[in-house]
Amino acid sequence: MERFDIVVVGAGLAGCVAAYTAAREGLQVVLVERGSQPGTKTVSGGLLYTHALGRLFPKFWEEEPCPVERAIDRNVVSFLTPTRAASLDYFDAEFSRPPFNAFSVLRSRLDPWLAAKAEAAGAVPVYGIKIDDLVKENGHVVGIRAGDDEIRADVVILSEGSNAILARGTASPPKPDPHVVGVGVKQVIGLPPGEVERRFQLRGISGTQYTTIGFPSDVEGGGFLYTNRETLSIGLILGMESLVRKGVSMFEVLEEYRQHPLLSRLLDGGTLLEYSGCFVEEGGWGRLLPLFGDGYLVAGSAAGFFLNSGFTLRGMDFALESGRIAGETAVRAVRAKDPSAASLTSYRTALEQSFVLKELRAFRGYPAVFRNPRLYGTYPEILTRLLHGAFFTDGSGRPHLRKLLAESYRGRASLTRIARDAWKFSSAL
Ligand SMILES: Cc1cc2nc3c(=O)[nH]c(=O)nc-3n(C[C@H](O)[C@H](O)[C@H](O)COP(=O)(O)OP(=O)(O)OC[C@H]3O[C@@H](n4cnc5c(N)ncnc54)[C@H](O)[C@@H]3O)c2cc1C
């Protein structure tokens, strides 16, 4: 049995930052990760909004090795049907200048870079060990257990990602709800040198991201395609309940997605380098786990910090910020020799003052909006029909736009239904 001031479970973004923050204050910190190295077990699309990382490591993009891939200055949001795409295409030159808005990242590079920061600050790395359980005394968490080994600490930070098996065991978490459980699947595709720049018309470190709604097998969920330096990241987050209802596997749906004519030309000739999948809890504000208790704090996606707006997918900046705040809270508790729940409430207060809980509360209507099945079939169909009519010309006398508009929704959704959905979308956004 060993003893530290703080044990951090999971060397993802939340865990590495929590360990870094506490270790640089001179506390004895151990960072435990089940993967043989940080980044080997994580699944993430990989679009990182930079603000939270920039606050910790200003100009991180200039470091060697560089932890990030491309500065995203072109954001394309597309509604897909099997052969069409109706897109909003937003280019912003400011986004590819310091301090940058968002970078594409590969977690196999970012996580080891961040873990190295924690190690350099003094955190002790223990990799290749899966923590099985928490050690409790009189209901108070006093350490962690892996097999017969125990590590004891004043504060345990649980940053084990969205499965959150340990965090779920601490208190009474919300009952599982099949409507808010999703599965994420992702591939990294390698392209020959120079090909990413050529296909996406990129200059320097600039990059493009596609977010898509609708199409593969009408399963509820969305997809993404991000440009990295010499690779592409492509994937989907799909509603579990919808997958089961349609009777398709996520691997089939991903294959179908890759074949979409808008995407397949971008992926042509690529080599599959990585393939991963995981569980995603998309519940948002109403489904957060208890964030702290006697002797422990929960950070990152283990707590349920994830925000999917349909056009942005955010979990990594929430993980970084909550990891930093968890690290700072744990330091105060160790120094005060009081790791009780009463002392650790300051974690929640600090999260409420940060963007983490402010944004999750402000956008608490998102998950309900994205449970609307018309978003994935009916509305992409209506939009693309309208645009097809507007652009298609065969010399037979093009109908007036008003007529096209009426034809695009007739038989698909009533005007009242569309107006109601539009109201719900705008209220949530
Ligand atoms: C398909 C998909 C696409 C996504 N795309 C984006 C995106 O583009 N942008 C964005 O911001 N967010 C995205 N997210 C969300 C984002 O990936 C997560 O919010 C983020 O990774 C959470 O970081 P974390 O540190 O909390 O957890 P994780 O990154 O999951 O790290 C948890 C770590 O804990 C380790 N661990 C787990 N259990 C144990 C155990 N018992 N013992 C020891 N170690 C353990 C794991 O191996 C892992 O290394 C996406 C998620 C998915 C699934």
What digits encode the pLDDT tens for the residues 122-178? 999 999 999 999 999 999 999 999 999 999 999 999 999 998 999 988 877 667 677
Q: Which residues pair with 221 in a beta bridge?
A: 238
Q: Which of 276, 301, 305, 360 to mutate to test the pocket of ligand 1 (most atoms within 8 A of CB)?
A: 301
Residue 173, pLDDT score? 67
In the chain, the amino acid numbered 310 is: G
Tens digits of residue pLDDT in 355-407: 999 999 999 888 888 888 899 999 999 999 999 999 999 998 888 888 888 88
Using a 6 Å cutoff on CB, does residue 367 contact ligand 1? no
Q: What is the mean pLDDT of residues 72-98?
A: 96
Q: What is the mean pLDDT of residues 190-216?
A: 95
> How much distance in Å is there from the Cα of 30 to the middle of ligand 1?
19
Mean pLDDT of the chain: 93
Atom of ligand 1 nearest to the CA of 303: 26
Atom of ligand 1 nearest to the CA of 237: 1
Tens digits of residue pLDDT in 267-286: 999 999 999 999 888 768 88
Residue 181, pLDDT score? 83
Using a 6 Å cutoff on CB, does residue 34 contact ligand 1? yes
Examine the pLDDT at 345 and tell me if it is beyond 70.
yes
Joined together, the tokens standing for residue 129 give 């060990």
> How much distance in Å is there from the Cα of 43 to the middle of ligand 1?
6
Residue ranges of the domains in the chain? 2-69+105-177+286-353, 181-281, 373-428
Atom of ligand 1 nearest to the CA of 15: 25
CATH number of the 181-281 domain: 3.30.9.90
Q: What is the pTM of this model?
A: 0.96
Nearest CA to ligand 1 atom 34: 10
Using a 6 Å cutoff on CB, does residue 223 contact ligand 1? no
Examine the pLDDT at 52 and tell me if it is beyond 80.
yes
The CATH-assigned architecture of domain 2-69+105-177+286-353 is: 3-Layer(bba) Sandwich (3.50)
Using a 6 Å cutoff on CB, does residue 13 contact ligand 1? yes
Using a 6 Å cutoff on CB, does residue 145 contact ligand 1? no
